Chains A and B, each alone.
Chain A
């Protein structure tokens, strides 16, 4: 019998028991639908991270003082006192370094008139807006003159400006107090939103790092250096930075680094990995429902073979070979799973669109997921349909014809 005839026969057979066919397919629909939706949500999250990384600039390198893996009392990044402004100046000379800004971090209560707000004080250098590709919304960033003289000037992040002066106000020229010292507001940075790690980048005050060192903390060292490389190829630059710092800090062969060099790419890849793991986990759970759907198909096909024993006997008596009967039941199972798979793909699209619209979760369905879901559905049909079909094909026609 031709495959086309077998297909026609399978379709007719399935259409004769619509309710059962629908219920059996439901297992496949839910399984495939769940897999597609989960993959869509995972891929959506991944591409959001990738966009954020692109927006932040893929050529960023951060050098932090101290090292998590240093012996003795372990301190977090940025806590060691070994990194100096001279180190920063030395790194500026390295090939591949485009912009560079030394940084000192602090935290303080900010006061403006009768408003106050606790925020991060980021002592930095004039090139920070260039490194981060970040323009000012009002006013302007401080100058190298301000850095040299450790001037009491500051540039506010949008969140800080909102909290101290109210939204939409231009606080340029106003005075805020940090640790009881007056700072002149030079401007407000354009809002940048949160980082890939959920940190509000607008909740900070930017002041010359020399000012933080001398006027707020009384220290000589710096916490970090932010660098932008000339190209997104950051690996050789970060290697050169490590080498230069080890030489400057007189670290011998096996001495551990007393600093950490992190590229934006590395940080992003950590998050991408996390999301990938989550996606795989969710897809695996969804895959279990695909398996359950397959078992449902096998169950129904077994019932069907038993019910149709005499029919099978008759078909054999009038000339059906074992493989004709096998094909008939196998094609029925595959048609069930493939139709289920198709509807499941439609459901996956629907659910993803709904998640995007109502939950505002980014989704993206990779084309190969469609192919894979379809392939898996067909595979499930063949795998779970084979045993019942084999059982039908192996029936003895005499016994089958006598079956009551």
Chain B
């Protein structure tokens, strides 16, 4: 099967003042459909830059990036926006939900920018509800982000990433703001989406135990891939959860550590 992601000699240099930062110095990577790749590395190793290029938020200085059979490394900004909308689902460390906006509206957001397939309001609701059910939040669709716990907010964000049926799911430190138990819950969702739906997952993290939930481990160092290997002993989030002591009763309306995207008079 053709790889869903294929990068060749990817180089990215920035100019910060007079200093030239060589964030990527010729990275090569192939990701097959259905893989669950964990990308790790110390800060400054270039994994965030790789994530931005893989997520089509940025373009490489040189080298090629073929996503789902299309060379996206030389596309215009507007073309990249369409690729992001259709092929990529983002999950961020800080959730980035719109405040004062219900979970359902948050999940519907990507479909508003889906220019080609115009969806009717009813269809949008249906698909958003489906995505929320997939992350186990079918009954919380009318809640506002500040009425949800951190784990629940991240699950809304995952539903938002899923709703446009993307080719790859890009998760940038998705557990960085979560406690151990919630982190494993989130990994459980990723593992199930990966296993049951065959969604390709790219997970960026600096925590080894989180990274071991993937099928393959890629380690970055100084802008190049240092280690690229299969995960020998893959962790199973569902089993880990069962082994943990039962959860404390959930406290709704608990404000999370991370404030949602400030949303003054915001939209949707």
A interface, CB within 8 angstroms of B: 1-2, 5, 9-10, 12-14, 16-17, 20-21, 304, 307-308, 310-311, 313-324, 328, 397-398, 401
Bound-state CA distance A53–B85 (Å) is 70
Q: Is B114 an interface residue when CB atoms closer than 8 A count as contact?
A: yes
Query: What is the CA–CA distance of A320 and B81 in the complex, to the nearest angstrom?
Result: 6
Please, which residues of chain A bring their CB within 8 A of the CB of B57? 316-317, 397-398
Q: Which of B58, B81, B100, B266 contacts A319 (CB 8 A)?
A: B81
Given contacts A318-B84, A401-B92, contact A17 B114 (CB under 8 A): no
Task: Give the Cβ gap from B61 to chain A, nearest Cβ, in Å.
Answer: 15
Known A314-B96, A398-B57, A401-B92; judge A319-B84 contact (CB<8 A).
yes
Known: A398-B52, A398-B57, A401-B96. A315 touches B109 (CB 8 A): yes
Interchain CA distance A307-B118 in the complex, whole Å: 30
B77 on interface, CB distance cutoff 8 Å: yes
Taking CB atoms and an 8 Å cut-off, the chain B residues in 118-153 that contact chain A are 118
User: Would you give 26 A-B contacts (Cβ < 8 Å), ordered by A?
Assistant: A1-B112, A2-B118, A9-B112, A13-B265, A16-B100, A16-B266, A17-B265, A20-B265, A21-B265, A307-B264, A308-B261, A308-B263, A310-B261, A311-B266, A315-B109, A318-B85, A318-B90, A318-B113, A319-B81, A319-B114, A321-B81, A321-B82, A321-B113, A323-B78, A324-B81, A328-B267
Most-contacted residue by chain A among B82, B160, B267 (CB, 10 A): B267
B268 close to A (CB within 8 Å): yes
B110 close to chain A: CB less than 8 A: yes
Shortest CB-to-CB span from A385 to chain B, Å, is 14
B78 A322 Cβ-Cβ under 8 A: yes
Any chain A CB within 8 A of the CB of B209?
no
Q: Is B214 an interface residue (CB 8 A)?
A: no
- CB contacts (< 8 Å) of B164 on chain A: these are 318-319
Cβ of B240 within 8 Å of any chain A Cβ, yes or no, is no
**What mask results when residues 40 to 76 of chain B are scored 1 for a CB within 8 Å of chain A, else 0?**
0000000000001001011000000000000000000
Chain B interface residue bracket vs A: 20 to 34
Docked-complex contact A319 and B86, CB < 8 angstroms: yes
Tell me which residues across on chain A come within 8 A of B92, comparing CB atoms.
401
- Distance of A105 Cα from B163 Cα, bound (Å): 94
B58, B86, B98, B264: the one contacting A17 at CB < 8 Å is B264
5 closest residue pairs by CB, A with B: A319-B85, A17-B265, A319-B113, A321-B81, A318-B110
A318-B109, A318-B164, A320-B81 known; 20 new pairs, CB 8 Å cut-off, are: A9-B267, A16-B263, A17-B265, A21-B265, A308-B264, A310-B262, A311-B263, A311-B266, A314-B96, A315-B267, A317-B57, A317-B96, A318-B85, A319-B81, A319-B82, A321-B78, A321-B81, A321-B82, A324-B113, A401-B92
Query: Which residue in A10, A314, A323, A397 is a CB contact (below 8 Å) of B261?
Result: A314
A319-B264 contact in complex given A397-B57, A398-B57, C-beta closer than 8 Å = no
Taking a contact as CB atoms under 8 Å apart, the answer to whether A318 and B267 are in contact is: no
Q: Judge if B252 is at the interface, Cβ distance under 8 Å.
A: no
A12 to B96, CA, bound (A): 19
Chain B: minimal CB distance from A313 (Å)? 8
Q: Which of B77, B118, B268 contacts A9 (CB 8 A)?
A: B268
Q: What residues of B have a CB within 8 angstroms of the CB of A397 in the complex? A: 57
Answer yes or no: B115 CB below 8 A from chain A CBs.
Answer: yes
Measured in the bound complex, the distance between the Cα atoms of B266 and A17 in whole Å is 9
Query: Taking the nearest CB of chain B, how far is it from the CB of A329, in angstroms?
Result: 10
- Cross-chain contact A316 with B267 (CB below 8 angstroms): no
> Across the interface, do B84 and A304 meet the contact criterion of CB distance under 8 Å?
no
Residues of A within 8 A of B86 (CB): 319
